[in-house]
Structure 1
Amino acid sequence: MRKADEDRFREFARSHAMAMRRSAFLLCGDWHLAEDLVQTALIKMYRAWPRMVRTDRPVNYARRTLLRCWLDELRRPWRRAERRDGLVPDAVDGAVDPAWAQQRQDLRGELFDALSAIPPRQRAVLVLRYFESLSVAETAEALGCSEGTVKSQAARGLAAMKAALDPAAEAALRSELS
C-alpha cells in the first residue's frame, strides 16, 4: 500500500474507531468482543483500502464490514449456546467493566437489556436506524436487503423491545422522550 493511502487509512481508523466500538457493543453486548470486532473489521478494511477509498464511502463500507464480522462471530461454534449439564455458569460481574456498571445504573441499562433480548437481524436494524441515524435506504444497503425488510424488522424489533421493557421503564422512557 502506498504511504498516502496508509496515512488516510490511519486517519480514518483513528477518527471512526470509537463510533465503531459503540456500534459493535450495541450489537453484541460485550465490550471486549466489541473491541475484537472493530479490530477484525479494521484489518479487513486495511486489506481493501486502496479499492475502497475510490468509492468515496468508507464509512458505509466500515459499517457493513463490522456487521458482517459480528454475524460471522455469531456463527462460530464456540459462540453457540452452552450445553445444559445442570451447572449454573458464573454470573457477570458488573463491577469489572466500569462502562457496563454505569450503564446498569440508569435507563440505558434497561434499554440495552431489551435490545439484547431481540434477534440479531432486528437488533442490527434498530442499531443502524436509531443509534446510527441511517435512513431506511442506507440501512437496507448496509444489510444487503430490501427497504421493506428493514421496515418490517424495525417494527418487529421495536415491538419486541417494548414487550421486554417493564411498565415502569416504559413510562420513564415516554416521559424522557416527551
Structure 2
Amino acid sequence: MTTCAAAAPELTEAYRRYRPRLLRLALGLVDDPATAEDVVQDVFAGLHRRGDGLRDPDALPGYLRTATLNRARSVLRRRRTERAYVPPHVPDAGSAESMALTAGERRGVAAALHALPPRQRQVLFLRYYGDLSEAQIAETTGISRGSVKSAASRGLRSVSTMLA
C-alpha cells in the first residue's frame, strides 16, 4: 500500500476480509448494530484517508483491531458524557391561553393598584412586591405601624372589590 490509487484494491480486499470480524468486535463493545457498523466504517475511512497505507502490510489486522477498539471506546465515552449531562432547569411554560390570562390578570392588578390612593398603593407595593414587614414599611414611609396596617387592609379590600 503505497498510494491511495494503488491502495484502493487492497483496501477493498481488506474490507471484505476483515469487516465481519471487526463488526463482531465493535458490536461486543458498543451493543448496538448500527453504531458498530459506524465504528467499522470510520476505521476503514480513516485507513483510506491515510493514503500512504501501512508500512508493513502484515500489521493490517492488528492496526484494524486497535483502531476499532479505540473508535468504540470513543463512542462509549461520548455516550457516558451524554448520559451524565443534566440540562439546566427550565420552568415549565404554560399554554398560550394561560399565559394570556396571567398577563391579563397582572394588568388588572396593576390597574387596580394605580387606582388606589398613594399611601395605600405604596403600602401594598412595599408589602407584596418589596416583601417588607409592617415595621420596615413604617420605617420606610415614615408612618406608624397602625397606619400601615389600616392602609394595607383598606387597599386590599379596594383591590379585591375592583378585581371581582
TM range (shorter): 0.3 to 0.5
Larger radius of gyration: 2
TM-score of the superposed pair, with normalisation by structure 1: 0.42
